[in-house]
Structure 1
Amino acid sequence: MRYFLLLMSLWLLAPAAGATALPPDSTILVINHLPADGLMLKKGWRYHAGDDPAWARSDFDDSAWDTLNPTRPRRELPQALGTGISWLRLRFRLGDSLRRHDLLVNCGERGAVEVYLNGRLVQRQGVINADPAQVVPRGRFPQPGQVPAGGPAEQVLAVRYAPWQSSLLVGIDRTPLLTSVLFNPQVFWEGQGKEKNNSQIYLVLLGFSALLALLHFAFYRYNPAQRANRYFARFALASALASFGAHCMYTLTFDSLGPYLVLAATTNSLASMTGLWSVRALYALFNVRPGRIYTGLWVVYGGVVLMLALAPYLPATIFLWSGLSILFIAEELRLTVRAVRQRRRGAWIIAVGFAGGLLAAIGYVGIHALSVSVLAANLCIVGIFVLRALGISLFLAREFALDAGLLQVKLGEVERLSAQTIAQEQDKQALLAAQNETLEQQVTQRTGELQRSLTELRATQAQLIQKEKMASLGELTAGIAHEIQNPLNFVNNFSEVSAELCQEAQELLATAALPAADKDELTELLRDLEQNQAKITQHGRRAAAIVRGMLEHSRTSPGDRTPTNLNSLADEYLRLAYQGLRAKDKTFNAALRTNFAPGLPDVPAVGADLGRVLLNLFGNAFYAVHQRQQAGEAGYAPTVSLSTERVNGHVAIRVTDNGTGMSPAVQAKIFQPFFTTKPTGEGTGLGLSLSYDIITKGHGGTLSVHSTPGESTEFTITLPV
């Protein structure tokens, strides 16, 4: 539908209604008024086959020539007019008001012409030749002839005409022999300017289609399993090429009719091809195997292409082209309605898009029939394509998002199964420990040295098993995180590229010759699109931070346990965390209180891992007191306390703050992966989860929390000596 005007322009460039010849006593056409769109000169013409330069003179007596209406089809006129050079003459008299102004006359059709006004050559189109096969027909946007003001009362318009015939084209004899229109100059040039300006809408379609083609070709390259992306990309590419061809048809000046006909046939063929690829994309989206219907569409499409190339002037070509478009729409509706009835996931999105496109098509037909507004008609043309394309594109985007969500669910299932496996292993270890205890009671007679050796062996065995489990779990988590990171990088990269394209589009729009209202609306749309891209980039980076946290969570420490002075280690990381926060915010201050137990024994631990735990706890404590300080509470003094002590064969480290505290519900989830109370973008929720695993699984200790909402929070680490 959106290229219907292009095909119509090849078939009907002038009205086909006839006009009777003037009576013999009325050989002069009197013109007192010009319609707004110009006056078609139908009556008063006389013709004669042959070629004589004297026939251009205004004083030549043509009373013996026959009369005719040259706007009628060639096949209804004398055969001599279609076989060689002939002359047509018209005597006319302009009213006094018209003679005071310059006018324009534009003559031509499927042939070459020389137009003489009162014996003076005013217009030439094409190349005249006595052999119709050698005639070069007129092109697109020819220069009209001048009818100067102040001319004689009676004037003579003589046209030397040579018809154009092509052995490849069928139906040229259905076109008018000659159309001659008298224009007001301002109306003529404004009409041509509006026609070219209105074609700018095809550049919008070109940019939109090219962007969709690029994106979906890239999506198909990344995920070949979703073949609908390939077919939809071909649909968008065909639409982009057709839009470019339509823009050229309405803006370029063609010296000859041949290239224009080739471009018109190619443009309309590409426009029809969009329907084929749209249907094929729906087959792929809804998992429908193409059958005889789709094959039949290709067969009809081939016939349409032949008709467009060889018989563009036949009415059957227009009906066949329009019928093929109706078949495409019918098949798309059939597939969409079938998918909606089968409750296919997301099928309603495509249905809404096609319904919007159908409403736009109906609106275009109504606007075109009533000739209400060219701008409204162009917007309907945009809506016909854009709404259908957005429906399919949004459906594919939703499928991508749902697949990503399913991947997250599977990841959670893997983590649950991993936790279940670890629990089972722990049960097995507990059972093995019970059996070992029974064996120890049976071998009490062994020496102390043997007992110590056995104890060390068990500890080494438990540590090795734990390392192997953590290594396996880490490899699994790291692999999943890497798989997520690859498409995530793709999303972030193309989001940034799309943002740059939006900026380039805004720069091009700033220099485009568009009406102010259209330019403002397009600028606003591009700004909204740019803001959406910024949101995608922001949340993509946040997701990347989560993936990096997962990779860090899965990393295992290669170091072995060594005797560690916890007083020195804790004091060092307390100062380090405080100075780090101070470096970010110079206004932050907090009181540091330490209470280290003297003579605390060294504890076997991995210093780097334990330091990470302490650094995370101190950072959370400083964050909590900073948040309470920013609330502006009167008399509040932020304080972070650190203490160590020895309790029942264990060493305890306590980190206390008088910050915002936590509710019981938050305390119950605080050690879960990805759980955080911080605003979006300030935390991934993996810090305490990682710390919990390091203390409990890596060092055989405990990590607990006690908090009073709005008052304080205390984390306690216990490690075996």
Structure 2
Amino acid sequence: MSTQGSDFGLFQTAVMLEDQVHDRTKELEAALRENEKINRALHRAQEQMQREIEQRKKAYEALEHEKEEQKILIAKLEQAMNQLVQTEKLASLGSLVAGVAHELNTPLGIAVTVSSSLKAMVDNLLAQVDTGTLRKQTLLDVLAQCREAGILLDKNLQRAANLIGTFKQVAVDQTSVQRRRFDLRQAIDEVLTTLHPKLKHTAHRLEVAVAPGIMLDSYPGPIEQIITNFITNSLLHGFEGIDSGTIRIEAKTNADHATLSYSDNGQGMSEAVAKRAFDPFFTTKLGKGSSGLGLYIVYNMATSVLGGSISLSSTPGQGTRFDLSLPLTAPLASH
């Protein structure tokens, strides 16, 4: 009985172990299936990640390519901007050329007329000498007329020479950005002489309160260009619809700076327009011949070339004022 009981116990143990092995095997098979499922999911995730990496790599390469294209585009835009600015400067100089040429017509026309009259008088005098009919009084009259003609010729040719000399200096200053020591009042007078044709056919008044003797070691060309742009801006915008206005230019010095102020009593600017006045291509005359570069050029010349600063104050109906703070000795700058 004890032997049979022992065998039965072993049998039960074996059955129990078999059941445990079976259960464990099922657990292991389930674990293997779960592991395979995880591996497949991981593989899919790796493939997805690889695809995303490739996509991001392509996107990065596309972004880098776009950045390079943008750099090229920005360089082209800067080049185009510089060309437009130079064109605007040359257009301003061309306007001065036309004005000076028109102004020269009067003295040169008078000189030509006097010269022709003088030649006719001399020819008539020689004819009387040849025929022996010359009288003393006739000779005295002709000599008096020749004297008057000479004075008239000298006056008008001197006027033409001064105009040409002034324009030549202004043109050289504006085109070469030449640095030199100069009197601020003299530079202002020179550019105002070339701008006279723009103003003489208007009823606008120009007041200059700049004392002689304010000496600058700087660039007169940009200062002349700034004044030219200011006056052009007043005539085109400030005095629109105004028959008789006043432009005032004044200057004072303190320590190592000169303050040059320009103002007109025109229609002024709104706050929104004043905030954008120095922006490139901003103009209230879009499509009417205005490039919108005038005050942009002014700002860059005042700050970059002359090493100063510029401020604008304006109120609608009460005019516009620009104040430039300019060092008496301009910093060395690359142009």
Query: How does the TM-score come out when normalised to structure 2?
Result: 0.47
Point out the structure with the larger helix share.
2
Where relative contact order (Cα < 8 A, 6+ residues apart) is larger, the structure is: 2
Greater Rg over alpha carbons, structure:
2
Query: How does the TM-score come out when normalised to structure 1?
Result: 0.23
